[in-house]
């Protein structure tokens, strides 16, 4: 299974459009089918370089197994055609783009895609810890894409 985005290449800067300095819309993603047939997918985007510890920017779960891409700008709703969205660390449902402090060097943003052998027994609006707990013992395969973003001083 491979994960990519038409917006940026692995390790490159995330375009401003997908950040708090731009339109703050979700990043388009595409993935190849995993080796085993999943029952669902999960996407989690986080920033391990945040000052107070890892900061979650996006939690999307119960993505149907027939989906192999996400368009840019997934609506910020608990229920979408692409799956259910959780609460990010901004306290909002859906995607919250990179927004590191202006005094910091560029942060790394990891987008991880998990293929699961189950559909999670969660409603929309779950927190990332609840999603990760529900995923326990159900992960078939994981891939990640890393981008960077820094704000001008």
The residue count of the chain comes to 153
Number of domains in the chain: 1
Is 16 contained in some domain? yes
Specify the pLDDT at position 19: 97
Hey, what's the torsion of the CAs at 61, 62, 66, 69, to 10 degrees?
-10
Q: How many CA atoms lie within 13 A of 11 on its CB side?
A: 0
Residue 44 lies in a domain: yes
Q: Residue 97: inside a domain, yes or no?
A: yes
Confidence (pLDDT) at 153: 64
Domain that holds residue 93: 3-122+137-149
Given this model, what pLDDT does residue 27 score?
98
Mean pLDDT by 10 residues, the chain (153 residues): 97 97 98 93 97 96 97 97 97 97 94 98 98 97 97 78
| Total-model pTM | 0.96
| 132 belongs to a structural domain | no
CATH of the domain at 22: 3.90.280.10
Is 127 contained in some domain? no
76 within domain boundaries: yes
What pLDDT is recorded for position 152?
78
């Amino acid at each position: 299974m491979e994960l990519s985005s038409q917006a940026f290449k692995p390790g490159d800067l995330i375009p401003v459009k997908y950040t708090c300095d731009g339109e703050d819309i979700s990043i388009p993603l595409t993935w190849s089918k995993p080796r085993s047939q999943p029952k669902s997918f999960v996407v989690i985007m986080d920033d391990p370089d945040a000052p107070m510890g890892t900061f979650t920017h996006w939690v999307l779960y119960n993505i149907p197994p027939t989906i192999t891409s996400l368009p840019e700008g997934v609506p910020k709703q608990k229920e979408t055609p692409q799956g259910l969205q959780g609460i990010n660390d901004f306290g909002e449902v859906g995607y919250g783009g990179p927004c590191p402090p202006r005094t910091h060097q560029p942060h790394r943003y990891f987008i991880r895609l998990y293929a699961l052998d189950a559909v999670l027994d969660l409603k929309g609006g779950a927190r990332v810890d609840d999603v990760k707990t529900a995923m326990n013992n159900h992960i078939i395969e994981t891939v990640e894409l890393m981008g960077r973003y820094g704000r001008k001083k």
